[in-house]
Amino acid sequence: MVDQRSFAWAAMGLLLAAVLSCGQSSVLSGSGGGGGSGNGSGGGSAGAGASAGGAGNAGASGGTSTSTSCECDPDNPSMCTQGCTYWTCMNVPASAGNKVHCDAHQPDGSGFSPGSYNCPEITVDNAACPGTDAPGSGPWHCTATASMLGCDRGGGEGAAGTGGDGTGSGGRGGSAGDGTGMAPPEPPPCVLGYPMMTSDPRTSVVFNESDVLRAFSPHVARANDTLKVFYGDEHALTLGVRQVQVKTAAGTMTTDYPVTMPNGSPAMAQRPMVGTTMLDGDQAGTDTSACDGAPDRCDRPMFPAIFITDITSAPMSRMGDWQYGGTPIPPHAVFGTWKAAVRLVDKTRNPQQVTVTPDIDPPRNHLDVGTGDPPPAGLRDEGFSAEARWNVAELGLQAGHTYRIQMMVHDGDQTRSGGDAGQNCALVRVY
């Protein structure tokens, strides 16, 4: 759905990264931010990287990405018939172990058995090992899980920068990694990675309407920007659950929740109310998805939501995703058109039955989201569209950090088992 591109590291001016593709690597390199004389500004990149003034003190490591990608592993093309295996490597500084650590997803179509294994210093023609131009030295000590590969070997700090000249305070590293304050490059494509089998049943839950998530932007953002998700379908977006009905042998108890409804088509709402935001229990604003043995574990929020993971120092992390118990954040604004839904919990059945019934569709708005941003060119018009926004300044995102943004929505018919839900992800760098 989304097109996200190059990746740049920014973590305390001490990390040096290399992105390796299919057993080859393209290393981030360069000299550190030089100490300025007087109050001159430094040019540190990939982190703040200020150098102390004085008699040749080393600056923090820096550099810009010169990464490329390959279509297949040139040493073993059969390993990459379904796509490349991308390794992400980090030079861990001496204070944290002085080693090189690399991560990758299990290669497509040819997974390795979980367990420990070693790779020689001169990498064999095997996609289970990082490329020959990875940082560090010595053999690799690796571990495979059901979905990931991880390898370590000796290495450590990145190249030292030029020391200060002793005449004044060190220069301040430039934001964007080049000392100019310009926007950094976009991060690479986000790998969603679901469904997959783990000990947590959430990771194997199927999302059957992910194509309703049509676009996401931007991939590089400032504090005053907004993150935008574009929706399109033959039914209007479901903004939330406006009513919960709990049916028992004694009768039915109805509880209403406020949902901001469109006042036209297209419409706009700042700070929209999205109904009940409870995630568990009878009054939850969730869908009908359930897992065997854990009926209240796998239901997903009906309101549009994003889930955030800071991946600056752990680029493969998904710990903020819904699948790992992340917190859903409803939108700060919505444009276009939408509707609400009613949730029924029928306790007269054994086991109890939960149904979610969306309201009737409002008038079609096609690709017109009113005062929102124009949908990206080329989006298919199926009759209904919406744009949901989140304010970067209210999300607690830090400049110089890279984030994994998982997005989730529900369409307007909810006719499939578990509910019609869509998910996708994007990487965003804040500067």
User: pLDDT by residue (tens digit) across 191-224?
Assistant: 999 999 998 999 999 999 999 999 999 999 999 9
Instruction: Round to whole Å and give the CA distance between 107 and 130.
Output: 12
Determine which of 59-68, 234-243, 326-335, 391-400 has the lowest per-residue pLDDT on average: 59-68
Express as a percent the part of the chain with pLDDT over 90.
50
pLDDT at 93: 60
Banded model confidence at residue 107, pLDDT cuts 50, 70, 90? low
66 pLDDT more than 80: no
146 by DSSP, 3-state: which? Answer: coil
User: pLDDT by residue (tens digit) across 111-120?
Assistant: 566 777 777 7
CB 352 within 8 A of CB 359: no
Which pTM value belongs to this model? 0.61
Tally the residues of the chain: 431
User: pLDDT by residue (tens digit) across 68-85?
Assistant: 333 334 334 344 334 445
- Alpha-carbon torsion, ordered 186, 187, 189, 191, to 10 deg: -160
Among the listed residues 12, 16, 48, 9, the one whose alpha carbon sits nearest the alpha carbon of residue 172: 48
Tokens of 250: 């004694």
- Contacts of residues 108-111 at CB distance under 8 Å and 24 or more positions apart, as own/partner, are 108/80, 108/81, 108/82, 108/83, 109/81, 109/82, 110/79, 111/146
pLDDT at 130: 79
pLDDT at 108: 54
105 by DSSP, 3-state: which? Answer: strand
pLDDT at 86: 62
pLDDT at 299: 93
User: pLDDT by residue (tens digit) across 2-24?
Assistant: 333 333 333 333 333 333 333 43
Average pLDDT, the chain: 76
Sign, Cα dihedral of 173, 175, 181, 184? positive
Radius of gyration over every alpha carbon of the chain, rounded to an integer in angstroms? 25
Report the alpha-carbon angle 188-89-217, nearest 5.
15
> Burial letters for 96-115: b for 16+ Cβ neighbours within 10 Å, e otherwise?
eeebbbbbbbbbeeeeeeee
Tokens of 317: 């992390």
Inter-CA distances, 89 with 20, 25, 100, 150, Å = 8, 9, 7, 10
317 pLDDT more than 90: yes
98 pLDDT more than 90: no
Determine which of 224-228, 362-366, 376-380 has the lowest per-residue pLDDT on average: 376-380
Between 45 and 337, the more confident residue is 337
pLDDT at 160: 39
Banded model confidence at residue 182, pLDDT cuts 50, 70, 90? confident
pLDDT at 270: 97
Banded model confidence at residue 388, pLDDT cuts 50, 70, 90? very high
406 pLDDT more than 90: yes
Q: What is the mean pLDDT of residues 124-150?
A: 73
Helix, strand, coil share of the chain (percent; to 5): 5, 35, 60
302 pLDDT more than 80: yes
The secondary structure of 344-356, three-state, reads EEECCCCCCEEEE
Instruction: Round to whole Å and give the CA distance between 124 and 117.
Output: 13
pLDDT at 358: 96
Report the alpha-carbon angle 214-215-218, nearest 5.
170
Instruction: Round to whole Å and give the CA distance between 169 and 38.
Output: 6
Q: What is the mean pLDDT of residues 176-200?
A: 80
User: pLDDT by residue (tens digit) across 319-368?
Assistant: 999 999 999 999 999 999 999 999 999 999 998 999 999 999 999 999 99
Q: Give the start-to-end residue ranges of the domains of the chain.
A: 1-179, 201-430
Banded model confidence at residue 39, pLDDT cuts 50, 70, 90? very low
Q: How many CA atoms lie within 13 A of 21 on its CB side?
A: 14
58 pLDDT more than 80: no
